[in-house]
């Protein structure tokens, strides 16, 4: 619909004010991380007069951020790969196997969308200990994979169900096995849905703080979120460093978001739009 | 082999194929999610220190939780705070989301930009958002109070996170700042699904935008409102990170921002100060109560959304 002048003005004022409320903290976060402390307090909103990288240098050397980034990358990459692989295999069976078993399993998976895995944390702590994975970032991977199953089966099963049935029958008549149909036909077609699932899980895993907090203490196994919480505690009164640490955690995701805003929005709301 | 046997074995082989496709996902989900969830319920019937509470005590943990004044006070305080946290999200976040979505559903220049900006904080880590806002809200050096003082509103420059009656609402609003993009996008999708002809017809009949919103859009959005409400509910009753970042694991000051998840963390995982020994049985009892609250909410929602769909 087209808006008249008053409506347009009203729209711009409301959305404009909210945009300032959103962008202003992000702006001060990044800009002030390059200022010495005194300047932050004197001139919190403007560009830096004297530009400093001290905060970043400190965080990088003191906090071993290089390590945290690598750890988080390893965990996120492996967990994502597994979620997409075993999730899409399961989704193919859930979509194509007509049986009470698959109908039950579908509901069993979907229920996980509403029941947060955190409530099982105490038992997970014991399980991770029993598997001798405590204090390593490997402990996070199986938990994240399990956590990703509901959204993966939900989105991917719906996608496969909408593919034309004749395609599968034709492949069957040509003598293709289910594995061949899955790997050569379904997987390539499923790319957009896989991207949605990947983005949803990537944001959740990259930003997760709860499981690292519970499972990991050792410095060499820390993730970015855990490193941020420990360093922020240390730097609470040194704003240059504190803001540098927060920027280090926030900026990679923000850049990805600016490049892929549409996909991010679609991915993060994936669990809800069809719910 | 007879023809029938052959068919049967083909069918069986097919079944085995499907089971193999499902096996890895089901195993991971069962062992690392569903299993621990249910075993946590069992754990709530035990007492003992450390990671293996071995003394079976029946419902004693629950009895303590509801009758021992020490526990009862903590639990109901956390429960009430979580309800307030949820109420603020429903009132502020979802109302703002509805407003933004309604504005974004018409055509004007810059619409995509606004949508992108409104959603941006949702991609940040909750922890980063929480820490960032503690700096902005810092009573002496933070931007909020500096601005208030600069424009002559010194008496409103309060210690936002230091007062018992302010901390929880302020933290809730920080969380709203972060998540308002979610309901906005969901409502926007719902609004885009309403046919243009319907709205045009109402406009030609002279209906005001206000009436069109309440008489046409709002009723049609009810299913989406239900989904938004239930997702807000589930997320809020698990909120932990934002409290941990802004009020610490104890929901300070004086437990005024303590939520069910922070109480669960202190009891079952970190151990209460000064003892520092986790009480897993009691922690599991708190998790089970949270689980029961969530299930009640979800079942209510399922019941009402079914009923609505029937009508």
**CB within 8 Å of chain B, chain A residues 87-126:** 87, 89-90, 92-94, 96-97, 99, 102, 105, 108-109, 112, 114-126
Q: Which value does ipTM take for this structure?
A: 0.90
Nearest to B52 by CA among B266, B264, B280: B280
Query: Taking a C-beta distance cutoff of 8 angstroms, is the pair A140, A211 a contact?
Result: yes
At residue B273, the pLDDT reads 63
Q: Which chain B residues are within 8 Å of A22, Cβ to Cβ? A: 117-118, 120-121, 177
Per the prediction, chain B carries an average pLDDT of 90
Q: Is B186 on the interface with A (CB under 8 A)?
A: yes
Count Cβ atoms within 10 A of the Cβ of residue B192 and give its class: 0-12 exposed, 13-18 middle, 19 or more buried.
exposed
- From the list A28, A45, A124, the residue facing B36 with the nearest CB is A124
**What's the token pair of residue B210?**
């206000």
Q: Which chain B residues are within 8 Å of A232, Cβ to Cβ? A: 131
Q: Is A269 on the interface with B (CB under 8 A)?
A: yes
Instruction: Report phi then psi at A259, rounded to 5.
Output: -75, -35
- From the list A89, A149, A210, the residue facing B29 with the nearest CB is A149
Query: Taking a C-beta distance cutoff of 8 angstroms, is the pair A55, A37 a contact?
Result: no
Count other Cβ atoms within 10 Å, centred on residue A14. 15
Q: B93-146: per-residue pLDDT in tens? A: 999 999 999 999 988 999 999 999 999 999 999 999 999 999 899 888 888 888
**pTM of the predicted protein model:** 0.92
Instruction: Give the C-alpha separation, B224 to A226, whole Å.
Output: 35
Per-residue pLDDT of chain A (275 residues; tens, 9 = 90+): 667 888 899 999 999 999 999 999 999 899 989 988 888 887 777 888 888 888 888 888 877 888 899 999 999 999 999 999 999 999 999 999 999 999 999 999 999 988 889 999 999 999 999 999 989 999 999 999 999 999 999 999 999 999 988 888 899 888 888 999 999 999 999 999 999 999 999 999 999 999 999 999 888 899 999 999 988 888 777 888 889 989 988 998 899 999 988 888 888 887 665 43
At residue A108, the pLDDT reads 94
Q: Do B177 and A116 touch (CB under 8 A)?
A: no
Confidence of residue B1 (pLDDT cuts 50, 70, 90): low
Q: Which chain A residues are within 8 Å of B29, Cβ to Cβ? A: 108-109, 112, 146, 149-150
- From the list B28, B117, B135, the residue facing A239 with the nearest CB is B135
* pLDDT higher than threshold 80 for residue B56: yes
Q: Do A22 and B117 touch (CB under 8 A)?
A: yes
Q: In the predicted model, what is the mean pLDDT of residues B6-16?
A: 81
Each as own residue / partner, the long-range contacts of residues A201-204 (CB below 8 Å, 24 or more positions apart, any chain) are A201/A79, A201/A80, A201/A83, A201/A144, A201/A148, A201/A151, A201/A152, A202/A76, A202/A80, A202/A267, A203/A253, A203/A264, A203/A267, A203/A268, A203/B123, A204/A144, A204/A147, A204/A148
At residue B66, the pLDDT reads 93
Alpha helices, H only, chain B: 3-29, 35-43, 60-67, 69-88, 94-104, 111-119, 126-136, 143-150, 167-179, 181-192, 196-204, 209-212, 218-236, 241-247, 260-264, 280-310
- From the list B43, B127, B290, the residue facing A122 with the nearest CB is B43
Q: Which one is predicted more confidently, B288 or A60?
A: B288
Instruction: Give the C-alpha separation, B142 to B147, whole Å.
Output: 9
Nearest to B154 by CA among B165, B139, B164: B139
**CB within 8 Å of chain A, chain B residues 39-58:** 39-40, 43, 51-52
- Residue B114: strand, helix, or coil: helix
Q: Which one is predicted more confidently, B224 or B311?
A: B224
Instruction: Report phi then psi at A168, rounded to 5.
Output: -70, -40
- From the list A117, A122, A256, the residue facing B284 with the nearest CB is A122
């Amino acid at each position: 619909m087209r808006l008249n002048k008053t409506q347009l003005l009203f729209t711009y004022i409301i959305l404009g004010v909210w945009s300032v409320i959103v962008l202003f903290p992000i702006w001060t976060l990044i800009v002030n991380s390059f200022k010495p402390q005194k300047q932050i307090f004197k001139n919190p909103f403007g560009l830096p007069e004297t530009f400093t990288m001290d905060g970043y240098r400190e965080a990088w050397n003191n906090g071993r951020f290089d390590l945290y980034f690598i750890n988080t990358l390893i965990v996120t990459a492996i967990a994502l790969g597994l979620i997409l692989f075993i999730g899409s295999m399961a989704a193919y069976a859930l979509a194509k196997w007509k049986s009470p078993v698959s109908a039950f399993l579908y509901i069993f998976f979907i229920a996980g969308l509403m029941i947060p895995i955190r409530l099982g944390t105490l038992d997970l702590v014991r399980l991770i200990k029993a598997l001798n994975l405590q204090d390593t970032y490997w402990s996070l991977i199986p938990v994240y994979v399990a956590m990703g199953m509901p959204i993966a089966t939900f989105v991917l099963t719906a996608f496969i169900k909408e593919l034309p049935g004749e395609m599968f029958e034709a492949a069957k008549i040509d003598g293709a096995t289910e594995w061949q149909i899955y790997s050569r036909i379904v997987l390539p077609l499923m790319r957009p849905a896989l991207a949605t699932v990947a983005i949803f899980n990537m944001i959740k895993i990259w930003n997760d703080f709860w499981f690292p907090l519970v499972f990991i203490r050792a410095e060499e196994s820390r993730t970015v979120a855990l490193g941020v919480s420990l360093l922020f505690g240390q730097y609470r009164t040194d704003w240059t460093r504190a803001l540098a640490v927060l920027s280090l955690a926030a900026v990679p995701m923000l850049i990805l978001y600016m490049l892929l805003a549409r996909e991010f929005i679609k991915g993060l709301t994936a669990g809800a739009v069809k719910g | 082999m007879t023809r029938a046997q052959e068919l049967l074995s083909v069918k069986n082989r097919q079944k085995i194929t499907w089971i193999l496709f499902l096996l890895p996902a089901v195993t991971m989900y069962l062992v690392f999610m569903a299993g621990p969830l249910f075993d946590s319920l069992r754990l709530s019937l035990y007492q003992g220190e450390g990671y293996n509470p071995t003394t079976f005590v029946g419902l004693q943990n629950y009895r303590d939780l509801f009758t021992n004044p020490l526990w009862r006070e903590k639990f109901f305080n956390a429960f009430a705070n979580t309800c307030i946290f949820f109420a603020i999200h429903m009132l502020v976040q979802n109302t703002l989301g509805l407003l933004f979505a309604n504005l974004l559903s018409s055509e004007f220049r810059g619409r995509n930009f606004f949508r992108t900006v409104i959603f941006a904080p949702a991609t940040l880590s909750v922890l980063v958002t929480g820490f960032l806002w503690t700096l902005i809200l810092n009573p002496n050096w933070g931007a909020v109070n500096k601005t208030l003082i600069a424009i002559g509103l010194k008496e409103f420059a309060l210690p936002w996170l230091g007062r018992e009656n302010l901390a929880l609402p302020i933290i809730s609003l920080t969380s709203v700042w972060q998540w308002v993009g979610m309901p906005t996008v969901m409502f926007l999708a719902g609004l885009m699904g309403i046919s243009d002809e319907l709205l045009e017809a109402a406009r030609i009949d002279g209906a005001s935008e206000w009436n069109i919103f309440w008489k046409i859009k709002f009723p049609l959005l009810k299913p989406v409102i239900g989904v938004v409400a239930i997702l807000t509910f589930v997320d809020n009753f698990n909120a932990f990170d934002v409290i941990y970042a802004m009020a610490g694991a104890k929901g300070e000051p004086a437990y005024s921002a303590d939520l069910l998840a922070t109480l669960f963390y202190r009891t079952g995982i970190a151990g209460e100060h000064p003892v520092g020994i986790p009480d897993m049985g009691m922690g599991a009892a708190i998790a089970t109560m949270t689980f029961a609250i969530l299930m009640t909410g979800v079942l209510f929602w399922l019941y009402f959304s079914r009923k609505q769909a029937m009508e």
